[in-house]
Amino acid sequence: MSGLAPAGGRAPARRRRRGFGGFVLDAHAAGNLVVQPRMGFSDPGEMRSGLMATKEAAATTVGTLTLDSYTRVGDHEAARRALAAGLRLNGYPIVNHGPQTTGLMLDGIRGDDFPVQVRHGSATPLAIFAALIEAGLDATEGGPVSYCLPYGRVPLAESVRNWARCCELFARLRDAGREPHLETFGGCMLGQLCPPSQLVAISVLEALFFRMYGLRSISVSYAQQTNAEQDREAVFALRRLCAELLPEVEWHVVIYAYMGVYPVTPEGAHHLLGRAAELAVATSSERLIVKTVAEAHRIPTVAENVAALEHAAAVAAAARPARGPALTEDTPTYLEARALVEAVLDLDADVGRALLRAFSHGYLDIPYCVHPDNRGRTRSRIDAEGRLQWADIGSLPLAHVVEGVRPGGMTSSGLLDALSYVQRRFDASGGELPALRGR
């Protein structure tokens, strides 16, 4: 890969920006963390009520239309039958409801002061993009890797083609005077047990894929992991790589509250969400996706979502930015993530083809991911301090930067223990580190 571009590239904070990304950056410039639920209901009236409650929460918020499982996999006929039978889906079927119903549902709620994002999870999202654009929406999320490998068996090459078409379609909104915003889900691969450097690398690579197809308002994601200090290091690495590689793009960072096995107690859930809010503030991240006290049990109610938004906002307001690594500091996470990004971009000038070759060669390889296009030769472990480390790097181009690799098989009990590590920590130990069992 040719030399990385100079740091910088953020639009001046004082001018008012357009669209979803502009709203988030303006809020950040005013000193506010934007908090967002993962809310979706199949009934348009219930969805409207959820959006209104989100808008009226005591926090700086943006709205969410989380889509249902049928729509995510493109089974629109099954969604139609379910709606006709009066069944409650686990999200909003934007394709089946059509632009008129969605437009009426959003009327008087969505606006410059309350943008709305569509969240879905699809490797075949063309109908979703067409539906949201027709309904007047201009913000969504996903990516060719992050919405393919964890969710099914759609070939990665097919997902890359699908996402290329969708990005091209979405970018055309700029010709109509609208600023489309696309968020990469790459920093949340499988939600857990993927060392932060690879999460950072995939997030950056998907952002570069979006840029290649004309998107200029982008957010990059990172999911809270198992160690707060390591998370701060990872987010600073993500910010540094974006500053170096996306100088002409208006970007921001979105933190996800922990994506793995969630605490079952209200106290544990509140504590973990509070840590996510503190991480966002400590790293100057602009947006936070919250989780609720109900995550371990069922789909949250509107009231539970609002409570989570307000709790996160209150914690963020009381927190102070931490002194983290300087943007010029070569931390282990930065060096690993940069090595991965450089190795992938060296494979092909086209980012989509480079991603395909990277997974074929094992230059990207997600631990414990069983998708056919993932080599599955890498393994991770949680060390005594709770940091996610590589146990086996497989063919990842990291031999020159990774230290302390401890190859060895992960037992089934050890894997289950690692998967429940955060839940046990926050439920039973008040946030203190529990011992790892079964290793």
pTM: 0.92
In this prediction, residues 269-288 reach a mean pLDDT of 93
Pair 29, 17: CB distance under 8 Å = no
Higher pLDDT, 402 or 202: 202
Q: At what angle do helices 266-282 and 302-318 cross, to 10 degrees?
A: 50
- Output the CA–CA distances (angstroms, integers) from residue 143 to 20, 109, 182, in the order listed: 18, 28, 9
Starting at the edge strand found earlier in the chain, the sheet holding 250-256 runs 60-61, 34-36, 287-289, 250-256, 217-223, 181-184, 139-142, 116-119, 63-66
Which residues on neighbouring strands pair with residue 232, listed in sequence order? none
CA angle 311, 275, 285 (to 5 degrees): 90
Flag the least confident range among 58-67, 93-102, 257-266. 257-266
Q: What would the DSSP string read from start to end of 347-397? A: T-SSHHHHHHHHHHHTSS--TT---TTS----EEEE-TTS-EEEEE-TT-S
Scanning the structure block, which residue is given the tokens 């439920």? 427
d(CA 238, CA 222): 8
Flag the least confident range among 290-304, 331-345, 409-423. 409-423
29 pLDDT higher than 80 = yes
Tell which CATH architecture fits domain 19-318: Alpha-Beta Barrel (3.20)
415 pLDDT higher than 90 = no
CA 297 to chain centre: 22
pLDDT category at 429 given cuts 50, 70, 90 is low
5 pLDDT higher than 70 = no
- Both tokens of 300, joined, read 């949250």
- Indicate the Cα dihedral angle 162, 166, 168, 172, nearest 10°: 170
Positive/negative CA dihedral, 366, 368, 371, 372 = positive
pLDDT score at 336: 97
pLDDT score at 179: 95
296: left (phi over 0), alpha (psi -120 to 50) or beta: alpha
d(CA 402, CA 123): 32
Residue-wise pLDDT for 222-252, tens only, equals 999 989 999 999 999 999 999 999 999 999 9
Pair 50, 311: CB distance under 8 Å = no
The rounded mean pLDDT for the chain is: 89
pLDDT score at 1: 45
pLDDT score at 407: 64
Highest mean pLDDT among 117-121, 409-413, 422-426: 117-121
